[in-house]
Copies of this chain bind each other. A is one copy, B any other.
Amino acid sequence: MTDTLRQSRSPLYLQIAEILRQDLDRGVWLEGDFLPTVSELSAKYSVAKITVRQAVKILDEEGLLKARRGHGTSVLPKPPVRDRLVLGTHLSTLTDLYRGDKPTLKLLEDRLANIPGKPLIGNLSKDGYHLLKRTHSRNGEVYCVISIYFEKQLFKRHEDEFRTQLALPVLLDSCDIDLAHARQSLIIGKCDYNTARLLKLAVGDSVAEVQRVICDTEDQVIYLADVIYRSDFVSLEMDLLA
């Protein structure tokens, strides 16, 4: 049971920690149970006891386990699970996501900019775009970095609202904005250095990279958001027969 573990460049103790974390999560052991001893785990995974001990130490530090000499390693009560953000699959549900619980916004960039790359749909405005880049936090935790490109004229008409509120509710609630097409994409990527700093992650940790594009009736992009979410914060759910 070591081929896969030893082929990885990740330290063994981190992998063992992850295996144990997942076993805990899926209920292999319940609160109050004892894990197999360090010696047993060492034999099971064919690694040194110090390696298991280091792994257990991490989980101890995370509040999942309690190791005590002369006693064993016991399972602590599961910490309350932070709810995941359910990314809506319709503009209205996506927008509703924020009505109840507005995150804390922190502005990072506020300037004229061109949309990088090719959008999912639509054509780019010749007037250019206004970029607001900011982080969203909830309970003190930064959970996403969002770069929003507003079509310049649109931005001018709603500047005060866009600067102070979440963008999608503003877009949907404004009578003078004609939304004709909207698409969203998601891929799973890896955190880069700048995003790692903002999201309190390590470089290479997984993130959800989401792009949302909204076009008017002339198929012009009026809103484009590139969002990097911490992967542990998001989930998606959708009706396959809608």
- The answer, yes or no, to whether A49 is at the interface (CB within 8 Å) is no
Provide the residues of chain B in CB contact with A212, threshold 8 Å.
240
Provide the residues of chain B in CB contact with A18, threshold 8 Å.
190, 192, 203-204
A10 and B183 form a contact (CB under 8 A): no
A14 to chain B, nearest CB (A): 6
Task: Point out the residue from B7, B84, B179 that lies within 8 Å of A241, measured CB to CB.
Answer: B179
With known contacts A89-B89, A196-B4, A237–B204 Cβ distance under 8 A: no
Count residues of chain A with CB under 8 A from any CB of chain B.
Answer: 54
Q: Contact string, A1-35, partner B, CB cutoff 8 A, digits 1/0?
A: 10111011111001100110010000000000000
- The answer, yes or no, to whether A105 is at the interface (CB within 8 Å) is no
Question: Once bound together, how far apart are the Cα atoms of A242 and B212, in whole Å?
Answer: 14
- The answer, yes or no, to whether A48 is at the interface (CB within 8 Å) is no
Q: Is the interface of A mostly helix, strand, loop or mixed?
A: mixed
Question: Once bound together, how far apart are the Cα atoms of A73 and B240, in whole Å?
Answer: 48
A240 and B91 form a contact (CB under 8 A): yes
A232 and B15 form a contact (CB under 8 A): no
B185 and A206 form a contact (CB under 8 A): no
Question: Once bound together, how far apart are the Cα atoms of A84 and B185, in whole Å?
Answer: 12
A234 to chain B, nearest CB (A): 7
Question: Once bound together, how far apart are the Cα atoms of A79 and B11, in whole Å?
Answer: 29
- The answer, yes or no, to whether A184 is at the interface (CB within 8 Å) is yes
Task: Point out the residue from B10, B91, B182 that lies within 8 Å of A204, measured CB to CB.
Answer: B10
A11 and B14 form a contact (CB under 8 A): no
With known contacts A8-B203, A22-B192, A242-B90, A237–B120 Cβ distance under 8 A: yes
B185 and A236 form a contact (CB under 8 A): yes
Provide the residues of chain B in CB contact with A203, threshold 8 Å.
4-5, 8, 10, 15, 18-19
Q: Give me the 5 closest cross-chain CB pairs, A-B, nearest first.
A: A206-B206, A8-B202, A188-B231, A182-B240, A18-B204
